[in-house]
Amino acid sequence: MTALSVNVNKIAVLRNSRGGQEPSVRKAAETVIASGAHGITVHPRPDQRHITPDDVDTLALLCRERGVEYNIEGNPFAPARGGYPGLMALIERTRPMQATLVPDGDGQLTSDHGFDLARDGERLKPYIQQLRAWGIRVSIFMDAGTSDLALAKSLGVDRIELYTGPFAEAFAQGDAGSALASCRQTAQQAQALGMGVNAGHDLSQANLGAFLAAVPNVLEVSIGHALIGEALYDGLETTVRRYLTICQT
């Protein structure tokens, strides 16, 4: 079975658009967990456009209390600023089960590519070593078709997270065969090297089944934007359970 980790960033976007504490990120996460999700994902950014450092702390306690995985995503290269202490500082104080390193920049609306390890591998190495020293599973965001998998393994990466944006776009256009083949090949290569495979970005109820049917042994999917959007119509509990059903097939 593929684990479902729900990204609650969009709840924070709604709250921040008005100020105050509603909708509550903690309450949304509680509902997600009670509905059967296997974990919670957050992606704090230096500009605090959605998840804040306080949210990171609150959700760490909740996940620990409920015995589910906590996954913190972000760019370790982004410096601390203002109220943002830096990704590694947040991870050090909350000790999530998994850290997913993502090469997003301040100008990006959302994550849109994986790491180029030929360029950034040596710079990433001390961060990966520190995370492993803290006992945290390390995943890095990678493009399907990447040639950097052996390098990822040599750096000590435990898992890759396949960037599934191109697959989702191709699926919406009705021709996902080539994108699925690329995802499948990359997953199999990573697994042959001894790394686990996660996946995320633009996955939805419409395309998740096709993705999991084509790509073997995906350990975890991280889904936020589509899930929260669908929940506006059908409710958070119902939507999470529908995703879980897809993950079980």
Could you list the active site residues? 43, 73, 201
β-sheet bridge partners, residue 199: 162, 221
Q: Which residues pair with 69 in a beta bridge?
A: 39
Tokens of 81: 């600023």
Helix (H) or strand (E) holding 119: helix 117-133
State the angle between helix axes of 53-66 and 25-34 in degrees (0 to 180), rounded to the nearest 10. Answer: 30
| Rounded Cα gap, residues 112 and 104, in angstroms | 8
95: left (phi over 0), alpha (psi -120 to 50) or beta: left
Rounded Cα gap, residues 146 and 214, in angstroms: 18
Q: Are 21 and 15 in contact (CB under 8 A)?
A: yes
Q: Mapping DSSP to helix (H, G, I), strand (E, B) and coil, where does residue 90 land?
A: helix
Q: How far apart are the two ends of the chain, measured CA to CA in Å?
A: 8
Beta strands at 69-74 and 159-163: parallel, antiparallel or unpaired: unpaired
Q: Treating both helix axes as pointing N-terminal to C-terminal, what angle do 225-234 and 9-18 enclose, rounded to 10 degrees?
A: 70
Output the six-digit token pair for 237.
Answer: 């509990």
